[in-house]
Amino acid sequence: MSSISNQILIVGGGPSGLLLAHELLRRQIPVRIVEKRRSPSHTSRAMTVHARSMEMFDHMGMASRLEAICLECPGNLYRFPGLAEADYPRTDYRVLPTRFPFYYKISQNDFEQVLREHLFSHYTVQPEYSTALVEAQSDLDWVIARIRLADGRVEESRYRYIVGCDGVHSTVRDAAGIKFEGKNVGVMGMMDVELTNVTFDDRWMNYFFNKDLFMNCTKMPGKYWRMYMSDPTGDYVHREDQQQAYQEVADQLGTGFQVGKPAWVTAWTVRNHIAERYRAGRLLICGDACHVHSPAGGQGMNCCMQDAFNLGWKLAAVVKGHADEQILDTYERERKPIGEQVSQGAAATHKIVMGFGIPPEDRLALTQTPDWEARTTHLVSGLSHNYRDVTVLPPGLTPVSGPKPGERAPDAILVDQPRRRLYDLYRRPQFTLLVVSGTDDPGWVIDTGVKLRTQIDSKFPGQVATILISRETDSRFDFDHHCCDAGTEFVSRYEIPPGGRLVLVRSDLYLAMACQPGQWELIDTYLEQWFLPATSR
């Protein structure tokens, strides 16, 4: 007889599983995380945390800890043979319109430790190691899971949902019968090592390559450098003496440095695969179980975590009875196109740096289009990822200026001292409705906002926080729900007109919709696609 659990079972204790657990727990949804590894990993593959992920971690309250232990990387230098350093193509992230105009370098094992510590300190939850899902069978109401415990016993429990954050060889994906099609695109070696005789800027990710070899390297926090290496046959990647193999490749590429004794080295097959779907009933998959691609660009871990950030609030709303189960279908509709876009972008960068057999001058031409750098940095950073094409808006909505529904909601400084940012207002596990009073008739806009807040709080209690942005105070908005806009960034970035604006932002920092105050009732209509009215629960 199987027991019944009120937890969401998360299979996999890597970045996507830990982040999904956080998003569920802060919405009072209990979780259980099982991880077949014997203990937390002390080795690493991923190493980059991009701007959109840092905005997410700022939202979750973890940004300051990551800032303390990461190294900033301004971007990537593509060291084409025969070019002077001033002529190297580069992707410079320092111009991005974000509080985090760079990407962070940190070994995945150290990064995961931050996630685990945050999860345990806030919710007293941690992964169960040496614990593996053996089998999962789903019916209309439950998923029956057979789990092998650390002592070898197998238990059977019923869960409402199981989410597979269990990587490329996902047990959950197999149990759900979801195909994972694609192809292998090469082999990759990786090493953490001390280097000497380095003559180039260690802040950047430096790509070295010729027609048949590839290597990149950058300084990591601490004493080690992270190096990646590839060749078309795998002869160097799989050589027994890896220190010598890396040194030979480095010498052939003219790097000038000396490779020390590796602290850690690994190799793997580079795959480009994507799942045909992300959900089968009560079984869902997330992260690497959904998509895997070339590490070129360093987007993999970031895309995985953004999957979890999207799924978390939706699954919590369904479990709490605040939303119909059909909103889980929007997880795939929104995230699968992003996974495909990331895979295509990684393949494009892969062709530039690992397009073996293609002359370097032909690969250089791929970097010479006028918008190549801006397009690449916005894509890789995650700032350009959006849900515009799948966003459903109420009939009759008049389009307004500024960010479009489904796009990233920009941040802005509202008050300089004491510092108050727009993202501070969004830092909550709810949607946020901004009532922006404008200058033409602020009293009327505020009255409209009060009316809308009353209607939303009655129909969708607890789902939306309404905040007044105005230079004038109003007794109907308390100190925590009012902020003065003392600068110009917000009005500029959201293109707020003198007549004011209503702006609805999702809890995952994407713009839900924006409208003129006179169309305030359409906000209520929009919310109906996500949440059930209180009277129908």
**Over the stretch 417-451, which tens digit does the pLDDT of each residue have?**
999 999 999 999 999 999 999 999 999 999 999 99
To the question of domain 182-271 being in CATH 3.30.9.10, the answer is: yes
Q: pLDDT, tens digit, for every residue of 439-489?
A: 999 999 999 999 999 999 999 999 999 999 999 899 999 999 999 999 899
What pLDDT sits at residue 448?
97
DSSP structure string for 170-238: -HHHHHHT--EEEEEEEEEEEEEE-EES--S-TTSEEEEE-SS-EEEEEEPSSS-EEEEEE-SSSTTTT
509: pLDDT strictly greater than 90: yes
Q: pLDDT, tens digit, for every residue of 324-367?
A: 999 999 999 999 999 999 988 888 888 999 999 999 999 999 99
What pLDDT sits at residue 1?
57
Q: pLDDT, tens digit, for every residue of 108-156?
A: 999 999 999 999 999 999 999 999 999 999 888 999 999 999 999 999 9
Domain boundaries, the chain: 8-181+272-381, 182-271, 393-536
Could you tell me the two tokens for 327? Answer: 């909103």
Q: Which residues of 422-431 are buried (b: 16+ CB within 10 A; e: fewer)?
A: bbbbbeebbb
Between 186 and 170, the more confident residue is 170
Q: Is 404 exposed, middle or buried (0-12, 13-18, 19+ CB in 10 A)?
A: middle
* Cα 35-37-43 angle, rounded to 5 deg: 120
Q: Which fold has domain 8-181+272-381?
A: FAD/NAD(P)-binding domain (3.50.50)
What pLDDT sits at residue 140?
84
Q: Is 245 exposed, middle or buried (0-12, 13-18, 19+ CB in 10 A)?
A: buried
What pLDDT sits at residue 2?
76
Model confidence band, residue 321 (pLDDT cutoffs 50, 70, 90) = very high
Q: Is 441 left (phi over 0), alpha (psi -120 to 50) or beta?
A: beta
Q: Is 419 left (phi over 0), alpha (psi -120 to 50) or beta?
A: beta
Q: pLDDT, tens digit, for every residue of 205-247?
A: 999 999 999 999 999 999 999 999 999 999 999 999 999 999 9
Q: What percent of the chain has pLDDT over 90?
A: 91
Could you tell me the two tokens for 399? Answer: 């389009």
**Helices within 355-496 (DSSP H only):** 360-365, 372-381, 422-426, 442-459, 489-494
Pairing verdict, β 413-415 and 420-421 = antiparallel
Kindly list the distances between the CA atom of residue 510 and the CA atoms of 2, 117, 513, in Å, as whole numbers in the listed order. 40, 27, 9
Average pLDDT, the chain: 95
Strand partners, 258: 196
What pLDDT sits at residue 313?
98
| CATH for the stretch 393-536 | 3.40.30.20
Cis peptide before 295 (omega within 30 of 0): no
What pLDDT sits at residue 42?
72
Pick the closest to residue 249 from 223, 218, 220, 212 (CA basis).
212
317: pLDDT strictly greater than 80: yes
Cβ atoms of 423 and 58 closer than 8 Å:
yes
What pLDDT sits at residue 53?
97
Task: Give phi and psi for 160, each to the nearest 5.
Answer: -70, -40
Q: Reduce the DSSP state of residue 338 to 3 states and report it.
A: helix
Tokens 């971007």 belong to which residue?
75
CA torsion through residues 29, 30, 35, 39, sign: positive
